[in-house]
Amino acid sequence: MARLYVLTMSCPDRIGIVAAVTQFLAEHGGWIVEANYHADQKAGWFFMRQAILADSFRLTLEEFSNRFAPLADRFGMTWKISDSDRKKRLLICVSKQDHCLSDLFHRWKQPESSFDIVAVLSNHDDLRGFVEWHQVPFHHIPVAPDGNPEAFDEMERLYEKYRGEVLILARYMRILPPVFCRRLERQIINIHHSFLPSFVGGRPYHQAYERGVKLIGATCHYVTEDLDAGPIIEQDVIRVDHDDDPEEMVRLGKDIEKIVLGRGVRYHVEDRILIHGRKTIVFR
């Protein structure tokens, strides 16, 4: 795949933003191969993503940052530029279920992958052999029912040791403490086995069965200190009926969970997500 520089930004909406940015890129040889824009008229906010052929650009990323900064200041932009050749470093947290982890390993091995799995952390030892077969470090960190703080301190220590950039909760069945969530704000992605905001918390398929729903789903979202209430990245559903008991819903739900998490991770590592308040803008 072609090497890209990806520029993302958001700012108060006004006339001339697109013209100014594209003119700047053109002046330095930037060949735009993908361009995405969104104007939130109610919020008065503008969002942009530009993918530029790296070989066409006459600036290094450091030079770009220095020269682009005055333009960004003029429009009050929050922005960043990234290099597609630099893969994001993922740590994955799991408990006992491996369907989401297996799918992420499969995606990681594809040539177009934009991330590296650098370690797996688990509150159980069940998946050690599976993870180490993939030649990935596995760390067993037991977590007490009351959520012993030293376990999460160790998780944070390992995240820093491996220079993690994203922490993926791939059916990690423990609630992270608020201070942990705050320290890694916008760096933790969870897959919740429910179509949020319905059926928050544990055993959502059993909740759905008791409610007699006709659709079940999964939600990929950023983790905040408010349980299952972080900005939503991706969702999908599958139809069920009165013949499906909770166990069958769990089986069906696993397929949706891994698909939704895989999409959400891809959108994040390809810099396709911009967060504004409690919402996300996702340029698919």
The residues assigned a catalytic role are: 228
Distances (CA, A) of 117 to 88, 168, 265, 281: 9, 10, 12, 25
Distances (CA, A) of 283 to 1, 49, 197, 220, 267: 19, 8, 22, 15, 8
Query: Under DSSP, is residue 173 helix (H, G, I), strand (E, B) or coil?
Result: coil
Q: Distance of alpha carbon 58 from its chain centroid, rounded?
A: 31
Dihedral, 211, 213, 218, 224 alpha carbons, nearest 10: -40
Distance CA 254, CA 240 (A): 13
Token reading at 41: 């008229």
Contacts for 158 with CB less than 8 Å, ≥ 6 apart? 91, 119, 121, 139, 164
In the β-sheet with 32-40, what is the strand arrangement from edge to edge?
32-40, 45-53, 4-12, 78-83
Transcribe 42-92 into DSSP letters.
TTTEEEEEEEEEGGG--S-HHHHHHHHHHHHHHHT-EEEEEETTS-EEEEE
Distance CA 269, CA 164 (A): 12
Contacts for 64 with CB less than 8 Å, ≥ 6 apart? 5, 28, 57, 81
- Size of the chain, expressed as the number of residues it contains: 284
- Residues 117/192, Cβ–Cβ less than 8 Å: no
